[in-house]
Amino acid sequence: MTTRKYQQKKRAERAAETRQSILDATIELHRTVGPAATQISEIASRAGVQRVTVYDHFPDEQSLLAACSSHWRELHPAPDPAAWLTIEIPSRRISRILWDLYAWYRETEPMTANVMRDAELRPVLKQIIEQGLGQYLDAVRRILAEAAGADSERRMRVDAAINAAINFHTWRSLASLGDKDAAELAAGLIELAVAR
């Protein structure tokens, strides 16, 4: 390998390490204080770089938030909906979906709470959430609706029950029960909507 290629490789490795340090610092600030309170100067300080270096890697808020969101999802993947489709008994599928979802909410609670709160203040963040968590919850909603199997007469009630059951704030209000009991209670709400 020539000296020039070696230097280019080392430079690329350092740039990747710097980018990762910036992401790690940003994620930690988002988790602890929230995106709205996160300042570029604090990111730079925690990452051990200058402010300009943060902007070199992430020229605008959208690029930084998108990269953080992507990295966070890699570190904390949401439950895989494909696994739920193998559960044949609808009531068990509903309970399992909610149990898995609630366990994931518990794992990601500080970050999820801060991001959802601050999305109302940052339109860019709201858009990223809609494309990530929003689309994921749409898939969860469809699988739950299919498992519930409501007829058209009950569909609005069932949809409302499902929306309540998968809502992060619903989980937070039930979290003291433990994820399994909370999931069973929320599943009961869906089943009641189907039955009435």
Q: Tell me which residue has tokens 């699988």.
A: 143
pTM equals 0.88
CA dihedral (188, 194, 195, 196) positive or negative:
positive
- CB burial of 112-125 (b: ≥16 within 10 Å; e: otherwise) equals bbbbbebbeebebb
Length of the chain: 196
pLDDT tens-place string over residues 154-180 = 889 999 999 999 999 999 999 999 999
Cα–Cα distance measured from residue 85 to residue 83, given in angstroms and rounded to the nearest whole number: 6
pLDDT tens-place string over residues 95-141 = 999 999 999 999 999 999 999 999 999 999 999 999 999 999 999 99
Q: What is the mean pLDDT of residues 3-15?
A: 76
CB 25 within 8 A of CB 46: yes
How many CA within 13 A on the CB side of residue 158? 20
Nearest of 56, 36, 34 to residue 123 by alpha carbon: 36
CB atoms within 10 A of CB 158: 22
pLDDT tens-place string over residues 135-151 = 999 999 999 999 998 77
6 — pLDDT class (breaks 50, 70, 90): low
The pLDDT of residue 174: 96
The pLDDT of residue 1: 56
pLDDT tens-place string over residues 35-45 = 999 999 999 99
CB 153 within 8 A of CB 63: no
- CB burial of 28-53 (b: ≥16 within 10 Å; e: otherwise) equals bbbbeebbeebebeebbeebebeeeb
The pLDDT of residue 115: 94
CB atoms within 10 A of CB 129: 20
CB 154 within 8 A of CB 162: no
Q: What is the mean pLDDT of residues 35-58?
A: 94
